[in-house]
Amino acid sequence: MKADRRPERKGIGNACSKAGARHTAKKRKHLTLSQKKSITGLIFIAPWVIGFIIYYARSLFLTIRFSLSDVNIVETGGYRATWAGLENFRYALLEHATFNQIFVNSLVDILIDVPFIIFFSLFIAILLNSRFKGRGLVRAIFFIPILLGSGAVLETLTLATENIQEGAGAMAAEISSSSGISMDYFIGTFIDLGLPTGMLDYVAGLVARVYEIVRSSSVQTVIFLATLQSISPSLYEVSKIEGATTYETFWKVTFPLVTPFILTNVVYTIVDSYTNSEVVTQAYDTAFTLYDYGLSSAMSVLSTVVVCMILAAVCMMISNKTFYYN
């Protein structure tokens, strides 16, 4: 076993030094340890670098080129792109029937959901981090949504959810007709109390989408949970000895240590909800049912640029308020 492992290793080692030698044949004697190490490091990441150049950088460049040209599919399966300037963007923004509306709606949805998902997942992570009976079971349940992420399974789940919600709605209607209680009545009461309508709409919208929010906040919960576990217990011990209440401990210890990951989670949430948004579906349909590659690329580029701008703005805002960074 050992005997045949060793030559193999030597072989690889030789190959490495050969690869190194090709680059620096003349200077070979002067190769310092750190240079050797940096070459090994480059070999380790080489597959990824090649992939990044071939698949990501090239594709990104091509997408931008497509968006600026009029793409015709040739019968042999290739394509011919002729320069069209900003025509595609103009069409998407000014003439396309639905793009504008879908685009704005998706953005608004993203911005509404993000804060709530963050608070919700932090809250759940704190709950799951405390000790109680059956914690393993509850955790297993809470991470199930990660498994059910996408595709036909998700569609069917959504359908089943709708059925349940319909059932609940029907039940509520039935109760309200017999007892005179209805949601509208409550909402009316809140409005009479002088609560702003915008806030009520926001809360009502969240309640209506609770299934989606729970489902899309599971990865964030995992990240927060991992963060909470990595906080050293001695900090809590100290604050306890110094006589801090639970409330103070949360705001002075837990929250500051969690802030960097609020940023991570915000980024993840925005990207995730953008990936599942309708703009993307629209771009996909434009490409593969209408075969209008130029327009589809223009839509992708537009939405990606806007989302990146939102990301940059949010990152600036939050990283100013980050108390601690590692």
Q: Does 156 bind another protein (CB under 8 A)?
A: yes
Query: Does residue 312 interact with another protein by CB under 8 A?
Result: no
In this chain, which of 19, 31, 93, 138 binds another protein, going by CB under 8 A? Answer: 138
Of 16 and 93, nearer to another protein (C-beta) is: 16
Residue 313 lies near another protein (rule: CB under 8 A): no
Tell me which of 13, 85, 115, 169 binds another protein, using CB under 8 A.
13
- Taking CB under 8 A as the criterion, the residue among 104, 108, 146, 238 binding another protein is 146
Q: In this chain, which stretch among 101-109, 158-166, 172-180, 200-208 interacts with another protein, using CB under 8 A?
A: 158-166
* Interaction between residue 155 and another protein (CB under 8 A): yes
- How far is the CA of 52 from the CAs of 1, 38, 198, 307, in angstroms? 37, 19, 45, 21
- 178-217: contacts with another protein (CB under 8 A): 210-211, 214-215
Q: How far is the CB of 286 from another protein (least distance, A)?
A: 10
Q: Which stretch binds another protein (CB under 8 A): 87-95, 109-117, 192-200, 292-300?
A: 292-300
Retrieve residue 57's tokens.
């950088």
Write the DSSP symbol of residue 98. S
- Note whether 60 binds another protein by CB under 8 A: yes
Piece of the chain touching another protein by CB under 8 A; list 58-66, 102-110, 179-187, 199-207: 58-66
Instruction: Give the nearest distance from C-beta 313 to another protein in angstroms.
Output: 14
CA distance 308 to 60: 14
Neighbours of 120 (CB within 10 A): 19
Enumerate residues 215-234 that contact another protein by CB under 8 A.
215, 222-223, 225-227, 229-230
CA dihedral sign, ordered 229, 234, 237, 238: negative
Identify the residue among 23, 27, 28, 51 touching another protein (CB under 8 A).
Answer: 51
CB 193 within 8 A of CB 185: no
Closest separation in Å from C-beta 259 to another protein: 12
User: Smallest distance from the beta carbon of 151 to another protein, in angstroms?
Assistant: 4
Q: Which stretch binds another protein (CB under 8 A): 18-26, 97-105, 193-201, 283-291?
A: 283-291
**Dist CA 318 CA 14 (whole Å):** 49
User: Would you say 80 and 74 are in contact if contact means Cβ atoms under 8 Å apart?
Assistant: yes
Helices (H), the chain: 2-23, 33-51, 58-67, 87-90, 99-129, 135-142, 144-147, 151-179, 183-192, 197-208, 210-216, 218-230, 233-241, 246-249, 255-275, 278-288, 293-320
Contact 306, 299 (CB under 8 A): no
**Span near another protein by CB under 8 A; candidates 90-98, 104-112, 145-153, 200-208:** 145-153
Residue 197 C-beta: closest distance to another protein, Å: 27
> Does residue 58 touch another protein according to CB under 8 A?
yes
Phi-psi category of residue 259: left, alpha or beta, with phi > 0 → left and psi -120 to 50 → alpha? alpha
Amino acid at 56: Y
